[in-house]
Amino acid sequence: MTGFALFETHIYNLLQSLQRHLNIHVKMIFVKKILLILVMIFGLGVGAEQLAGGVEWLEINQEARDEQIERFKPEAFGAQQRFGPKKDKDYRRHVMLVADGIKTTDKAELGAFYKGKVLIMYALRRYDEPRTAYYYSLLGKLYYVDKMSENYPNFPYTSRQYRANGKPVSYIYFPDRDTQYIYEPDGEFKGIWHKDKMYDRTGRQILTRTNW
């Protein structure tokens, strides 16, 4: 998988976790190909589908599920972070580019996010910060920052999301492309996604996302 293709996949998975913060139903398009339609909440698959390490979430017992949850649980990271400028000074150019279907520049990779057919947000991953993604409004206001672990783009990797003010939002463990373990900043387990469905710690399906 190419660097940008994985970036697209990562952004798709990340945005599921931000539904309750953005409160929008979004279709995400990375230009020259339609990536996926998002319901920006987390989901995992129904049925005995393969998860990390060959574990079948619906087939294993509760003790085994709890063991998996603890295995990937992060250390709490409630400390505020400091980020650079809260405004993208080149936002007019970037908005124009993503609206025209351009997904790369000489300095960054771009992502466009739509509600229906209306462009509502864009993302940048700068080449000098390959493990950080920034999410902006159409006026260039910083919404979120996503920090990937050092082994990105190789699986497994982790991701920590922050608001523009540096407040932590969530932690995600990516064992593979199809599976994500979701945690709060304090380490509380929120659910596990596999493809289009999300389960809680007991194996009960709690959410679904469209067009996985």
CB atoms within 10 A of CB 155: 14
Which is more confident, 39 or 102?
A: 102
Q: Pick the range with the lowest mean pLDDT from 11-25, 34-48, 135-149.
A: 34-48
108 within 8 A of 124, measured Cβ to Cβ = yes
Which is more confident, 68 or 81?
A: 68
Q: Could you give the C-alpha distances from 32 to 38, 91, 103, in angstroms and in order? A: 18, 21, 8
